[in-house]
Amino acid sequence: MGRSGVRGERPRPSGHGGAEARAGDLGWDESLYQDTGGAVPGPDDRRPPGHRHKGGRAKRRRGIRILRWTAGTLAVLVLATAGAGYLWYRHLNSNIKTDKLNIGEHRAAKPTPNAAGQTPLNILLIGSDDRNSKENLKLGGHKASVGAAPLADVQMLVHLSADRTNMSVVSMPRDTLTKLPKCTDPKTGHVYEATVTPQMVNGSLGRGGPGCTVATWEEMTGIHIDHYLMVEFAGVVTMADAVGGVPVCVDANFVGRYRGRTTGEGTDLKLKKGTTYVKGEQALQWLRTRHGFEDGTDIARAKAQHMYMSAMVRELRENATFSHPNKLRQLAEKATDALKPDEGLDTIKKLYDLSVELKKPNPKRMTMTTMPFVYAGSRVVPTPAADKLWKMIREDVALDGKDKKKSTTQVSDDPAAADDKIAVQVRNGTRTATTGAVPGRASAVQQALIGKGFTLAVSDRSASLAVDRTVLDYPSDDLEGDAQAVAKSLGIPLSSVKKSADVSGVTLTVGADWKTGTTYPKSAAESDDPAKSLDKNQTQNGADGKQCMHVQDGYTW
């Protein structure tokens, strides 16, 4: 990774005056960082009559506003604290290590601006388990992991709406299976070919760096990602220390290993029932814990991470007033050292500008959720509901359901061929985790299509898939109109028609939502309310401070 202070650095005015002028342009109050005995003047700081201090009350008010940081996500905290150290512009810029945003072959399309010319902002937060440093090894565990490729064990997409009124945060489980794209390592030039079979998504980080994780997300979701922010184990600890702790809650006395064990899977986290402020290694342990929370899975860990992030937001908005210049300096130093952003965020100025945007939404309009999935053995795979979620984000639809606009699918500009010229393959996807596939479903729907004039329809009798919602896939833009014509003939909503690289022609997979009949049931049609499409157990509101993680039996003391 290159250091932004060396690569691409623009000439800057020499001397202290240049830094002061630049700081003044951004509204920074230099007097806050001068030697005042560690205190910021307050309303009780009386001066003799007639004494006039440059800037007066207006400057003091502005200084207090500058020091009162609020944030929208964990990334916002890091960005805002980085901005607090603007006086060390050159020094802090040299701390920032950057890498390429996307090292894949393709980019997702940029969103269309709204009527006001505004566009959404999408940032991928990546938590790396890299153990190739003494600090990370101490916090991350096993020596056998030294030298291994890092894994992206935490992946969260932060979507800021175009009008900046709401924010959505979506976690993807680390063991999600997907085909990883072709990526080229920007440092060595080594090419990682696209995988033929699905792999765990967290392996994308070891295929040339975070730019490959971004490429994987863009190919999976079709969402254009503007930036990424990556932090390692040691970075989480230093930042948690810097902010003084974050409140988290458990519904019983909790210990991170099964009762009586001192080794094995789990963490050394130990908490009393109720709310505890965690920081340092405790914060890291909270973010890594899954054994003992909820159902003990990686999904439970994502829920705990959401709770941590939303608690940090509330804590900052209510209590974060930093009155000591040295503390601000430490925050800035730790933030720039811990963060590894993409090359588009290579200066403090850019990080600060980004933080201003991200902290605009009120926590009440902040929704955190987990990608809809089903288990595939011990791993997970996205469901059609995940496609709907990605579509809502692409279309900038708020996940809390409070927007007036709804997610809509446009009729394709591509004209459909004649019905008897459209080849359609029908597959049976009615199998579920608890029931077998309904016999003859593919053939029944195939015959219905033939009766409607789609005489080239065939059924794949060998396929027995598990799909919770019927989906119509097409491989290329010139077949979109054909796929929509098939959907219309059967009453399937256009939102279930999607482009996919996994099919070679128009392919209809009859899901578990359509086990009988030859017309798609109205009751299975997608809801227009985005909030109803999310798993309530995995969805949190940023302003809700009453949630506690459920502790499993055997993990109490």
**pLDDT for 506:** 96
Residue closest to 336 by CA, chosen among 237, 241, 231, 244: 231
Cβ contact 436:469 at 8 Å = no
Please give the Cα distance from 378 to 465 (Å, whole number): 17
Helices 281-288, 298-319: axis angle to 10 degrees equals 140
Q: Is the pLDDT of residue 355 over 90?
A: no
Strands 458-464 and 424-429 come out as parallel
For the chain, give the percent of residues with pLDDT over 70: 69
Contact 268, 252 (CB under 8 A): no
pLDDT tens readout for residues 143-160 = 555 556 788 888 889 999
Residue 284, pLDDT above cutoff 90? no
The average pLDDT across 544-557 equals 87
Half-sphere exposure of 215 (CA within 13 A, CB side): 27
Order of strands across the sheet that contains 121-128: 340-341, 227-231, 121-128, 152-160, 167-171, 366-370, 540-541
Mean pLDDT of the chain: 76
| Residues in Cβ contact with 400 at an 8 Å cutoff, skipping those fewer than 6 apart | 166, 365, 367, 530, 531, 541
Q: What is the pLDDT of residue 330?
A: 65
Distance CA(157)–CA(442), nearest Å, equals: 36
In DSSP notation, 32-79 reads: GGS-STT----TT----TT---TTHHHHHHHHHHHHB---SSHHHHHH
Q: Over the stretch 113-145, which tens digit does the pLDDT of each residue have?
A: 888 899 999 999 888 765 444 544 444 444 555
* Nearest CA among 287, 538, 491 for reference residue 389: 538
What domains does the chain contain, in order, with CATH numbers? Answer: 419-520 (3.30.70.2390)
From 92-101, 295-304, 434-443, 519-528, the region with the lowest mean pLDDT: 519-528
Tens of pLDDT, residues 285-321: 888 787 888 888 877 887 888 788 777 766 656 654 4
- Three-class secondary structure of residue 394 per DSSP: helix
Element (H, E) at 176: none
Count of Cβ atoms closer than 10 Å to residue 464 Cβ: 14
Look at residue 88 in the predicted model and tell me its pLDDT.
57
In contact, 436 and 524? CB cutoff 8 Å? no
Instruction: Out of 75-89, 220-234, 248-262, 444-458, pick the least confident.
Output: 75-89
Q: What is the pLDDT of residue 233?
A: 63
Give the pair of three-digit tokens for residue 447. 């015959």
Burial (0-12, 13-18, 19+ Cβ within 10 Å), 286: buried
- Is a pLDDT exceeding 60 seen at residue 497? yes
User: How much is the average pLDDT of 171-195?
Assistant: 94
Are 421 and 457 a contacting pair, CB within 8 Å?
Answer: no
Q: Is the pTM of this model over 0.85?
A: no
56-107 pLDDT per residue, tens: 444 444 433 333 333 334 444 444 444 444 445 677 788 888 999 999 999 9
Show the tokens assigned to 30: 């230099």
**Contact yes or no for 281/289 (Cβ under 8 A):** no
- Per DSSP, helices labelled H in 222-264 are 233-243
pLDDT band at 8 (very low <50, low <70, confident <90, very high): very low
Q: Which of 349, 392, 398, 390 is nearest to 163 (CA)?
A: 398
